[in-house]
Structure 1
Amino acid sequence: MTSSIPDLADAIRLQAVTAGAAEPIVRGADWQTATVTAVGAGTVDCGTITARCLDSYQGRAIDDRVVIAQSGNGNWICLGRTSSTPDTEWDDYVPTWTTDANPQPSVGNGSLTGRWKRDGRTIVGWVNLVAGSTTTFGSSSDWNFSLPVQAASVGTRLCHAEALAGSRLAGQFVISPSQTASKCYFPSTTTPPLVSCRSDRPFAWANGNQLRIDYLYEAAS
């Protein structure tokens, strides 16, 4: 009978250690890697665990390999992707093409495409407009092309634009503070030397003409 007492004590001790290892308030905070199974508003699910994300973890996506940490009271936080996972894949988006006055332009059987990615608050991307035979170019007022995310409230970015109509004409895509859409500017033979892009500038736009834009800027958040 007495020989079983150490065995019983060992069993109780082992059970206490096992229970403590499963209880964060006992073992303290810890971290682990996990795979994202669902994306919420400021959170990600990793299986049965829901973790709140750091602001630096942008462009969250299912199947991201992430690091999650648990506090002593059992709450989970997602620290971001592991270094073996690309920071952000390129995403397609369809820019919104508008003018400052009606009638508005229409792509028709042309094409308007864009792609972008982000690294923290740095946004990089491009827009390509190819005019078709049924494309209309709107009123004789400035063209605007939407950005994938709002620009930061400080600084102006001078990005690249190119108009093609038999020859190439280099210009600027100007992103001002807090903008959600921006304009292109091209050289002019008149004053001022740079004019905004519109249906009749830098030339009378027609079937087959192209507008290409590259941008890099700081996001608002």
Structure 2
Amino acid sequence: MKTDLTATRELAAGLRRQAARTGSTTPSVRGADWRLATVSAVGGDGTVTADGIAVRRLETYLNPAVGDVIVLTQSSSGNWLALGRTATDAGTAWTSYTPTWTASTTNPNLGNGTLVGRYHKVGRTVHLHINLTAGSTTTYGSGTYSFALPVQAANAGCTYVGDAHLLQVSRWGGQFLISPGATSATPAWTSSSSNAGLSLWTSSQAPVSMASGGIVRITITYESAI
């Protein structure tokens, strides 16, 4: 039979084990803590869900995405906060995309030309560059030209204006115009070599006709919808 002393010791040991288990899961006992977690959902209210925990993210945690490995922290009162994603690279590289080139009547065909798009999104600010070089088999379609944007523009009542250059023997300056809520945008050039007024770029509306070796370069910064 167990003596009173043995029973007392076993009871005390059991209580210590229970206290340790409770303390390991109770923030007010354990104190502040942090962990790594994987994002499974992104909310539109500044929250993410990671490892089953719905948690508000810091303002510095920009562009959250499903699959992000993030740092979660929990206060001693039990409140969770997403500090941000862990780094996977230097974080400075821009992203490549293909800025589809279309026209309002008949689409152009790039043929053996090249069309390169690069952008960098920080929060809701998008820095964008597009570079088109016409080839010997490029055809130009008809109607007003446009290039697809990598991210839809914010519908905030603002038309964003950037720089556009057309290099065909000479260099011609123009603008790149992104309307509110747009998913594509159009360059504007002087309407002819003798008219300084700007008109939207079409197959026939430009200071010079585009031909093999001609280059269009576009650079702009705009606010994205998300």
**TM-score, normalised via structure 2 length:** 0.76
1:153 aligns with 155
Deviation per CA, 1:180-204: give whole Å up to 9, x if none.
1111012234557112222232321
Q: Does 1:19 align with 2:24?
A: no
2:166 aligns with 163
Count of matched residue positions in the alignment of Structure 1 and Structure 2 = 213
Deviation per CA, 1:34-68: give whole Å up to 9, x if none.
264xx65528787xx24557596415375x55222
SS of equivalent residue, structure 1 residue 16:
helix
Distance 1:52 1:18, change over 3 A: same
Letter in 1 for 2:9: D
Superposition deviation, residue 79 in structure 1: 4.5
Letter in 2 for 1:218: E
**Alignment partners' CA distance in 1, 2:155 and 2:166:** 28
Superposition deviation, residue 78 in structure 1: 4.1
Letter in 2 for 1:58: N
**Alignment partners' CA distance in 1, 2:80 and 2:216:** 47
Contact 2:23 2:30 in 1 (8 A): no
Distance 1:218 1:110, change over 3 A: same
Deviation per CA, 1:129-163: give whole Å up to 9, x if none.
11111111111x21111111111112121111111
Distance 1:71 1:128, change over 3 A: same
Contact 1:57 1:81 in 2 (8 A): no
Provide the alpha-carbon RMSD of the alignment. 3.5
SS of equivalent residue, structure 1 residue 7:
helix
Distance 1:35 1:191, change over 3 A: same
2:190 aligns with 187
1:208 aligns with 213
The ranges of structure 1 where at least 4 consecutive aligned residues each deviate by more than 6 angstroms after the TM superposition are: 43-46, 74-77
**Alignment partners' CA distance in 2, 1:119 and 1:171:** 26
1:99 aligns with 103
Letter in 2 for 1:11: A
Distance 1:40 1:65, change over 3 A: closer
Contact 1:65 1:85 in 2 (8 A): no
Contact 2:42 2:64 in 1 (8 A): no
1:176 aligns with 179
> Superposition pairs for residues 57-206 of structure 1, below 5 Å?
57-58=62-63, 60=65, 62=67, 64-69=68-73, 78-81=82-85, 89-101=93-105, 103-139=106-142, 141-154=143-156, 155-188=158-191, 189=193, 193-200=197-204, 201-206=206-211
**Alignment partners' CA distance in 1, 2:83 and 2:91:** 13
Letter in 2 for 1:91: T
**Alignment partners' CA distance in 2, 1:93 and 1:51:** 33
* Gaps in structure 2 of 5+ consecutive residues: none
**Alignment partners' CA distance in 2, 1:135 and 1:167:** 20
**Alignment partners' CA distance in 2, 1:164 and 1:33:** 54
Contact 1:52 1:78 in 2 (8 A): no
Superposition deviation, residue 80 in structure 1: 2.7
Identity rate, percent: 34
Contact 1:52 1:77 in 2 (8 A): no
Contact 1:87 1:119 in 2 (8 A): no
